[in-house]
Each structure stands twice: as structure tokens, then as C-alpha cells.
Amino acid sequence: MNEGFENALSGDDFDQLLQQLAEEAQQHPPQSPQRQRALQRLVSEILQSNRLHHPQRDSWLLNLYEDLYNEALQKTLLEICQKVDYYNSEHQVMAWVNFILRNRFIDVVNDYKKQGITYIPKSERSQTTCFLFLDELEQCIPVEDERSDDELLRQFLEEDPENLLKNERLRDNYEVTFQYLALKKFVEDKTWIEIAANLGISVQTLCSFFNRRLQKLMPYFKKYL
């Protein structure tokens, strides 16, 4: 659909068009040319609709978010084509699409975090991408301890038995220590964007510093947790 025609459609008309395309695809057997044409048109209209949601957009660096989002979107479009028969015409097509998109984005993020913990080459760990190894930290904590993982981690970060966390400083910024950032991130549950804005430092700089120091300090975490 060209831009002029898309703009000419009202919201209700556009919703009806998407529903018609989905139902048309359902009427034809899988792999049939008729179904394929209907699905191609449906996917094209969805991509041009400007109605796709962007889950967690403010929680990631822009370049990284685009990669995660594009992968989730590709998985979403594939699932729509494979499972169009599951579409229920009682609901708007875009509601169905965005529901799938949110779930696929969560899947992509989870896969990404697993790869970040396990497969990131040492030479790449100093890049600006924020890989958070919180799961790895929590694995250091014995299960038999009656306190929660969060409580144990908070106590360790605050007490810093050997003063290693507070001695890791960002360049000449005396107040910006690894301890400060870890407490903000893991205890106060602040986003990197919030922390960076409050400090007046770029997110990339904070993430790069934090990731390098976390790898260096991992034996320290394992010793006390």
C-alpha cells in the first residue's frame, strides 16, 4: 500500500483491512499461492502501519536495542505467517501482533543475556554494550542461606569487606565507584539511562567501566557470597 492510500484509511478501515487479509489467509491451505499472497500483503501492511509497539525501548542503548528489536520483529512476522490460523477475529490484528512481539522480544533478550554471560570473548567485554551478569552473581550465593539473594547481595555491596568495590573509580570521578554503580543498579533497580543522566556521564562510558570491573571483581564476589 502506498503512503497516500495508507493515510487515506481511517483507523477502523485499516483494522478491517488487516482482519480481511488474515481471514483470507486462513481460508486457503498452507503453502498455497493464495495464502502466501495474503500473508505477504498482511506483513507489508503491518510493517507500514506505524502501530508496532517498541517494548523496553528506554532500557537499552539505541544501537543494541535496534538489533534486539529487529530480531524480535523477524521472529514475530514469521510466527504470524506460520500461525495465522490461530488468529481470532474477535480481536484486532495489531493487538495480536504486538502481543506476539512483546513475547518474542523477551525471548530475544533472555537469549542475549545467556550469550552475554557464557559466550562473550574476553576481547569484546570492554565494549559499550551493557552485559549485566546479575544471574552469575546470584549463582555464587548458597541456596541454604535463609536470606534472599537480594539481601545477601545488598549486604555484600554495602559492606565491601576488603574495600575493593569502593576503590574501583571511574577515571578521576571520586564518587563514581563500582560500589556506587552496583548499588544503584542491583539494589535501587535504576536503569543505566537514569544513572547516567543523574551523573552527567554517557551510558556507554558507565557500561564500559562497569563491565570491565565486574570481570575483574568476580573472584571477590565468589569469595564472599
Which residue has better confidence, 25 or 61? 25
> Which domain-ending residue is among 86, 118, 150?
118
> Which domain-ending residue is among 82, 103, 118?
118
Q: pLDDT tens digits for 37-76? A: 999 999 999 998 889 999 988 877 777 788 788 888 988 9
- The closest of 187, 192, 163, 168 to 178, measured between CA atoms, is 168
Instruction: Based on the fold, state whether residues 142 and 193 are members of the same structural domain.
Output: yes
Instruction: Based on the fold, state whether residues 18 and 93 are members of the same structural domain.
Output: yes
Q: Distance between CA 15 and CA 221 in Å, rounded? A: 53
Nearby residues of 106 by Cβ (< 8 Å), 6 or more positions away: 55
3-state secondary structure of 200: coil
Range of the domain at 88: 3-118
- The closest of 225, 60, 62, 45 to 149, measured between CA atoms, is 225
Which residue has better confidence, 212 or 85? 85
Instruction: Based on the fold, state whether residues 114 and 129 are members of the same structural domain.
Output: no
Q: Distance between CA 143 and CA 155 in Å, rounded? A: 16
* Beta strand ranges found along the chain (DSSP E): 169-170, 173-177
> Which domain-ending residue is among 65, 89, 118?
118
Q: Tell me, what's the pLDDT at 66? A: 82
Q: Tell me, what's the pLDDT at 92? A: 92
Rounded to two decimals, what is the model's pTM?
0.50
Q: pLDDT tens digits for 100-146? A: 999 999 988 887 776 543 333 333 333 334 444 444 444 444 444 44
